[in-house]
Chains A and B, each alone.
Chain A
């Protein structure tokens, strides 16, 4: 009796191990990688390309009470509105100058500075802590600097949310689909349990259009471009204007520059 039960357990254990073996011994990175030769990929000819995508926000043009960029971004990306701050998901939103740039303001700063409401979103960092900590590679960095999310690989551990020094990431604490005002069929909705954030509109860049927030801004406060191209508009702005980056001392290399 005892020995037969023991044999059964041994066989069951061995079978379970065999089933797990392919997963453990042939991880994804060891599998064949399909290399698509340049020019033959899915990317369209007219796709926008850059060495490093970056954005400038002209705070002298951005008006405090305007929310056009937020509305455009959230509508296009199927960002739900749960109506409570606890479960809130946001890709781009506005904050007071003191919250965005702690330490850059003093007690005697003029009203002009205090009244600013800079838009904040993912900085698509050059050295992103979220990518470093992700245990599955669900968040990763493209060669052009965009920090991406794979909603199908994310396990929802939220370590990236703890790691992000900008609070740019949101968790789907529940099913977002019923709370999306109007679903845009051109962009995936997310499921509950995954993390999401601004993606610099990579899906629009692939089709040759600028990010939705840049297009929506009537004040033309947002400029998007290649920070590695010395002749780009963004480089011209950075050369001539005084700019701030958020918490730049942390070494993350944020790619959003705020012009003052």
Chain B
């Protein structure tokens, strides 16, 4: 099926060329980083994780897109999602690949990455994260690809795929929980030391992943000769709305505990985020953009009239994606280090090479996504309304 990605319109080829260009620029600077060390980035002794781990954390959330389609379709027989579950699974594959790349480029000694398997440490959450992420990648790659291949050949998918699909549902929960536990179990980092971390991860994941999926569906409907169906898109929009509401609520709950209890070491981080601390306010503007965008997006998504308008829906989804990227990608990781355990405030400024490498990984992810969706659209062959193909539907139900 891969050969389907080799041909396409001029617009498709220009888009692919741009992605390859950005990817190559990122790769070039990654070689520089390999040569010089992570000192090429803005990370420091005090702020020892930066953009890379932040993108990883955010993208684990995007990978949740699959479960929000698979669960209603396979467990509750919600037929409207039948056509697009594969889209969700392939988006999950691209997102998890980006996650793995971001963790990999963040390593000081990438050549030793296999030490995690050679000397497994069950007490380390990072070890478990490696297991759940690679497992999630494999599950989604297999299910997405097998269903797509069977659709193409117009045969029912093999029986063994069904338990694998069911397995993907708890597995999706696990990748967020385990990733949240990386942060939530550290004794000295009061910003992360909260039991609501995993629920927060899940809520923002169920908003950001489906929001990207809606955008993709809108793009495919306009330019890709594939209509996901208004019912599916509207159902997704409702999922985004309520997940976003939960996400905003969880942030509010956290702020109540912190500011009402008035424990300084818990308050300092939130003060740094929203007001600035001792003259340092790198993230303040970003966090207010987050606050405004997320609330605006929520309002747009709960008003049925606005939600049904394609343009407003697209704007709302962009707002959701950007705001949660700020909240999970920028705010959550970097602020854990500010102030430091010794009370020092070290600001973090990502460098040019670091930003280029980051964009390069995003380009690699979008390249994968484009290729997958190109194949998907080709296999689906036009804008017919049938779910996964009658044969697939029969097997599942």
Contact = CB atoms under 8 A, between A and B. Distances in A.
Interface of A: 23-24, 27-29, 85-90, 95, 98-100, 102, 120, 129, 132-138, 153-159, 161-167, 170-175, 191-195, 247, 250-252
A24 B49 contact: no
Contacts of B188: 129, 163-166, 247, 250
A23 B343 contact: no
A157 B126 contact: yes
Contacts of A192: 36-39, 108
Nearest to A151: B109
B49 A158 contact: yes
A155 B113 CA distance: 6
B6 interface: no
A156 B187 contact: no
Contacts of A23: 114, 117-118
Contacts, number: 159
B118 A167 contact: no
Interface in B211-267: 265
B182 A99 contact: no
B391 interface: no
Contacts of A132: 123-124
Interface in B35-60: 36-39, 42-46, 48-49
Give 10 nearest A-B pairs by CB, closest first.
Answer: A156-B108, A165-B188, A193-B108, A173-B39, A192-B37, A174-B39, A174-B37, A135-B126, A86-B44, A136-B115
B120 A194 contact: no
Interface string B100-143: 00010011111011111111110111110010000000000000
A155 B185 CA distance: 21
Contacts of A162: 48-49, 183, 186, 189, 336-337
Interface of A is mostly: loop
A113 to B, nearest CB: 16
B75 interface: no
Given A23-B114, A192-B108, 6 more contacts: A27-B117, A29-B120, A155-B110, A166-B188, A193-B109, A247-B341
Interface of B is mostly: loop
A167 B340 contact: yes
Interface of B: 36-39, 42-46, 48-49, 103, 106-110, 112-121, 123-127, 130, 182-183, 185-189, 265, 336-337, 340-344, 346
Among B108, B115, B119, B346, the one with the most A-chain Cβ atoms within 10 Å of its Cβ is B108
Contacts of B127: 135
A245 to B, nearest CB: 14
A87 B117 CA distance: 29
Contacts of A171: 38, 43, 45, 48, 108
B109 A27 contact: no
B119 A87 contact: no
B37 A135 contact: no
Contacts of A159: 124, 126, 182
A155 B109 contact: yes
Nearest to A165: B188
Given A157-B106, A162-B336, A99 B343 contact: yes
A24 B131 CA distance: 12
Among B48, B113, B185, the one with the most A-chain Cβ atoms within 10 Å of its Cβ is B48
Contacts of B115: 135-136, 138, 153, 155
Contacts of B110: 155
Given A159-B126, A171-B45, A87 B109 contact: no
Nearest to A152: B112
B117 A24 contact: yes
Contacts of B337: 162
A174 B336 CA distance: 24
A39 B39 CA distance: 44
B125 A133 contact: yes
A129 B45 contact: no
Contacts of B48: 158, 161-162, 171
A135 B116 contact: yes
Contact of B187 (A28, A85, A129, A195): A129
Nearest to A87: B39
Contacts of B336: 162
A247 B127 CA distance: 27
A102 B121 contact: no
A102 to B, nearest CB: 6
A84 to B, nearest CB: 9
Contact of A135 (B108, B124, B341, B343): B124
A162 B121 CA distance: 17
Contact of A87 (B45, B116, B130, B344): B45
Nearest to B340: A167
9 contacts: A24-B117, A28-B119, A133-B126, A135-B130, A137-B121, A153-B115, A157-B106, A167-B341, A174-B37
A29 B117 CA distance: 11
A93 to B, nearest CB: 10
A32 B118 CA distance: 14
Nearest to B337: A162
A75 B133 CA distance: 43
A90 B340 CA distance: 15
A156 B38 contact: yes
Contacts of A174: 36-39
B118 A88 contact: no
Among A135, A156, A194, the one with the most B-chain Cβ atoms within 10 Å of its Cβ is A135
A229 to B, nearest CB: 28
B109 A134 contact: no
A158 B108 contact: yes
B45 A135 contact: no
